[in-house]
A and B are shown apart, each in its own frame.
Chain A
Amino acid sequence: MARRATQAISGGVYENLVHDSAHKHVSGAALYVDDIPEPPGLLHAAFGQSARAHARIKKLDLAPVRAAPGVVAVIAAGDVPGANNIGPVVADEPIFADGLVEFVGQSMFAVAARTLEETRRAARLAVVDYKDLKPILTVDQAMAAQSFVLPPHRMKRGDTRRALARAPHRLKRRLEMGGQEHFYLEGQVSLAVPAEDGDMVVYTSSQHPTEIQHLVAKALGLRDNAVTVEVRRMGGGFGGKETQAALFAVGAALLADKTGRPVKVCIDRDDDMVMTGKRHHFVTDYEVGFDDDGRILGIEFELAARCGMSADLSGAICDRAMFHSDNSYYLENAVIDSYRCKTNTVSDTAFRGFGGPQGMMGIEDAVDEIARYLVKDPLDVRRLNFYGTKDRNVTPYHMVVDDNIIGEIVDTLEASSDYRKRREAVKAFNSESPVLKKGIALTPLKFGIAFTATQMNQAGALVHVYTDGSVHLNHGGTEMGQGLLTKVAQIVAEEFQIDADRVKITATNTGKVPNTSPTAASSGTDLNGAAAQVAARTIRKRLASFAAEHYGVKAANVVFRANKVKVGRRTLAFEELVWEAYRARVSLSSTGYFRTPVIHYDRDKARGRPFRYFAYGAAVSEVIIDTLTGENKLLRADILHDAGKSINPTIDLGQVEGGFVQGMGWLTMEELWWDDAGRLMTHAPSTYKIPVASDVPADFRVQLLETGRNRTNVVYRSKAVGEPPLMLGISVFHAIKDAIASVGDYRFSPRLDSPATPERILMTVEALRARLSSAADDARAAE
């Protein structure tokens, strides 16, 4: 070890460096926005919310709010100096409702008071006179009313009508999938501090500081350069802080501007769950035609998403659902129609996978239905339909899949998980067990990496080397727990060949790196890692050419290795060279800029190469269900995931495990439930249940693909890993479906919707039993 230490740096790429904040997490020293020492004069703010799903505001009497103890300021729609809007793409979402409320929980006004308790109490005192309008709450209602936030969109390849007409078998199905609450443990929070010239500094928990900067500036009627936004870390994001942090940041800034005092918005969990968007609820209808072996000949999808009251990111989310309606399968003839339904519910938003999970659930349902119809092992039908490597490799959006390794991954996992033997064991168990039933399923994963909005695929970084050889690293990526800042620091350490602990990780700040994209689409490391690499290389090159000139050697003979620099036959400590370079007036600071090459997409034609590459993976899940109650349990999960050549295998494994469990939660116990008036009744952890420790299978075998290496030249040949593993959770849903199917001796397919709560499982079991007995009646009648 000691010898190695002299030859290599500690914390370079491919190493299992511990998360840079781990020691601060465990000691309570990591500062989140609400932990920042409170500035003098701080006010706390809260929002007044709509109690109705759809209504005209006839009168909004804020006098009782203003008169409440401790209240310093109250603002509503008329008090916004700039634009009363936080819609990120379409200007269709007011900061404060202006005469019309469109969901329960919509912000109508904000109040600032001396204490948090005072402001929360005051926010409840407004007297509102509503004139109720008819709300649209469900996808079916929206489709009937043709109520959309954005126009429908179609993707198309081949001649699907003809393929369906000629197919030996056809199935028509509907699958309904509930949404999902992000349940980041740290709720939405922002602290706005007024500065001179009317400038504003905002500390926030956001995946998109640049957007917060823009929206605060617009609301205040300022230029972007008057607003600085800083994010050190989030207590979880998962997409829920991509656009959804804006309301709270803007509200804090407006009140800070009005009062001239710092204002903090730290909203209560229940309010957070009611006021902020979630994963989209989808209703997917499809018709699929296939041959006797189960090969898909043609498929038509209709994906209807419940978007809520505004567009938010629904356009791109629904597009991504369409892009993933193939998952790993070759669809020669496909039509994919997408409807973006406007409903009187909170505007749904980004959530890990960004529509991809819903898209995949549709095609996985189709493949599973085909297998059950043909009474085949679903894995065989899946494999039969996999993309080819040389042919059968064009997606419904006409992109060639040129890095397909799904076959290899599934073959490996099938063997390592003992899938076939266990399937037999499951059947044997079920034939002996009258009440408890087991099920098993293997599902594949192919996920496209890049923002599908091409202009977002760019990133910047800023690297300083100080004269003592220590490095200051900054870039546009934000840390929400995924280890991004650690991985980018490893890249910079590797470039300079210095220990990672010499690289200072710093808060994301719009004043340091401007015009950034959100940390989203799994792109954090691909983009920001590459930008930081460029910045570090720029400085390293300057150091190298200085050394070459100064010591009279060829630039090629300047080698950075293990905290040292070899300059010809001379060896200097890194900091010695840095100091010499400084004295010689060499710039030791650089920006770095990266834009993703190759990608392009013509949305009007639904054709192009929206993704730079694909990430792959597969999972096998085995479950047990109780056919008297619907209770269920995941017994074992085997996962093989492709993270390319992982920059930090431990961190990436954490993404895989965490993503899988989150996906399992979405499809099993996590249920959002609205009442008939459009009120979300599952608005706290007491009623909305995310997985806990006991839900993680006792037998959990998770591996990164050892031979993983990105065929595309992504930074250090790694692959993005943030979102894809969530979709490995689909295997749990299909294992449950398989367990239910055993009740009908695998002769009928259970029509299971998501989430597969105990209730939905039991009701599906009951429906299957009813079909069984009516089939038996029919058989008797026929005799």
Chain B
Amino acid sequence: MGPKSRRREAQIGTIRFLLNDQVRELDAVDPNMTVLNYLRGVERKTGTKEGCAEGDCGACTVVLGQADGNRVRYRAVNACILFVPVLDGKQLITVEDLAAADGTPHPAQRAISELSGSQCGFCTPGFVMSLFALHASEPKPSRQRINDVLAGNLCRCTGYRPIIEAAQRMYGYGGGDRFAARQKETLKRLKALRRRGTLALEAKGRRYFAPTTLNEMARLCKAHPDACILAGGTDVGLWVTKEHRDLDILIYTGNVRELAKLKVANGHIDIGAAVTVTDAMDVIARHYPRFGELLRRFASVQIRNSGTIGGNVANGSPIGDSMPALIALGSSVVLRHGPRFREVPLDDFYLGYRETDLRPGEFVERVRVPVKSAARRFGAYKISKRFDQDISGVLGAYALELDGGQVRDIRICYGGMAAVPKRAVRCEKALIGQSWSDGAVARAMQALDADFQPLTDMRASADYRMLVAKNLLRKFWMETTNPGVGLDVVSYGS
């Protein structure tokens, strides 16, 4: 790295964000410090709680405000696995900030309190923040939508009923949101905080870069091949909170304009690596409702607001939720290294357990998903102990093209069955060219025995995994051939 670029990287060492409605400028902030530890330890704002430090319980839920066109977009995130520098240019709102100056509670606070939606109260600030974000962004929701919004908040006392009612009642109080009233002003202030160039921080021997252009991102990654690439941080955060690792160099994708884009063109949905699951969901669901349903059950709102499809793919967990669907659909990843890029089919991307084809200095630029086609039927099923916000034991995804009654092509991919998300090659082979019939499907189910040797672990036994993998294929067959039969417990009755 030349002296010029080093100067460029060192140009700004301060992050700026709004804490409630006050500008905070922090320099020498440890890039590994979480927002939760910052709030509790530095600001001494203890309303935000730590329940698990892994983004699963929601007690630490805070809301981030971000400029989005001519409005401020409020989204709930988990503060426990969010690094402080990510706040740069955003607004951070915590439970202490919601009440009006005269102490009048926010409608979400009032509703939970009036309906006895708190017992021990420890999870309550998190629920309040999830409902605050909901209130700020959507009209009165359905029960189903409330379930989705609250899936990332655990309560062990109430049994949820009063909280669910509060989510509806809060809309009946009329207004009461001081952030809505001040949106214009906030927007102006957020725009003033917007950064044009790369943010470069150094503190406690750790460095953090947040480039704003793709070229700069590529240059930084190439210059720091051992850097940890930070997208939503919903897994990386745990390396710090649970494994106590030092992440000495972080390169954040979230400010790169090109990576934040989602385009549908030339027969593909192109999902930039920094596009959050929340932002990708609607488009994907329009093309593949079953994939959309999968993403509705992908972690929680808080995680989907931070986490990205690109991060899920690059992280390469064998039980990541998006990859089996992406692979079945024939998706690919565009990888970038310096000025060069290459496109790799996603099923070739995974080499071994948490091992990908990414080379040092290379990063995922986009995920490319073929758009829907009339000829293709798609199904995806996630099996977990709990419907919402759980990690799958088995996830099966199926993309079928029929020619008359015959299988012209089928791509089948499973998560949870091997060290990587993996296609069921023998099973596919047993079906291609056959009639899409009970008998052929039964034979293909048997072929799965040759495709996989799943493990037994805390999520599922090997026997169950195999049996379910087979049954899910049957389910897909039934769904495509006999749409009248009830097959879905998840949505039953709703």
Contacts and interface: CB of A to CB of B under 8 A. Distances in A.
Contact of A236 (B95, B120, B471): B120
A534 B143 CA distance: 46
Given A24-B121, A766-B467, A671 B113 contact: no
Contacts of A635: 492-493
Nearest to B150: A693
Contact of A629 (B120, B146, B461, B475): B475
Contacts of A124: 244
B7 interface: no
Interface residues of B, number: 91
A646 B472 CA distance: 49
A26 interface: yes
Contact of A185 (B108, B114, B123, B147): B123
Interface string B151-187: 1011111111111100000000000000000000000
Contacts of A691: 159-160, 386
Interface in B437-494: 457-461, 463-464, 467-468, 471-472, 474-475, 478, 485-490, 492-494
B156 to A, nearest CB: 5
Interface stretch (B43-51, B212-220, B408-416): B43-51
Contact of B120 (A35, A235, A435, A659): A235
Contacts of B160: 661, 691-693, 696
A290 B114 CA distance: 51
Contact of A687 (B96, B147, B459): B459
A227 B442 CA distance: 70
Main secondary structure of the interface of B (DSSP, over half): loop
B57 interface: yes
Given A269-B51, A654-B157, A186 B122 contact: yes
B481 to A, nearest CB: 13
Interface in A616-635: 624-626, 628-633, 635
Nearest to A632: B489
A661 B94 CA distance: 29
B322 interface: no
A684 B54 contact: yes
B272 interface: no
Given A26-B118, A654-B157, A696-B161, A629 B478 contact: no
A481 B121 contact: yes
Contact of A698 (B120, B143, B163, B244): B143
Contact of B155 (A26, A30, A185): A185
A766 B470 CA distance: 13
Given A19-B116, A654-B157, A671 B493 contact: no
Interface string A202-238: 0000000000000000000000000000000111111
B53 interface: yes
Contacts, number: 276
Interface string B379-398: 00101111111110100000
A185 to B, nearest CB: 4
A560 interface: no
B385 A238 contact: no
Main secondary structure of the interface of A (DSSP, over half): loop
B387 A690 contact: no
Given A28-B48, A35-B46, A762 B125 contact: no
B116 A631 contact: no
Contacts of A684: 52, 54, 56
B95 A27 contact: yes
A420 B445 CA distance: 40
Given A626-B488, A658-B158, A684-B54, 12 more contacts: A30-B121, A185-B123, A185-B156, A433-B485, A481-B121, A628-B472, A629-B472, A631-B387, A657-B159, A671-B458, A691-B386, A692-B151
18 contacts: A25-B121, A28-B47, A28-B94, A120-B244, A121-B244, A184-B122, A185-B49, A236-B122, A270-B242, A626-B489, A632-B489, A633-B387, A671-B458, A684-B52, A685-B57, A692-B154, A700-B161, A762-B468
Interface of B: 40, 44-54, 56-57, 59, 94-96, 98-99, 105, 108-110, 112-114, 116, 118-125, 128, 143, 146-148, 150-151, 153-164, 242, 244, 381, 383-391, 393, 457-461, 463-464, 467-468, 471-472, 474-475, 478, 485-490, 492-494
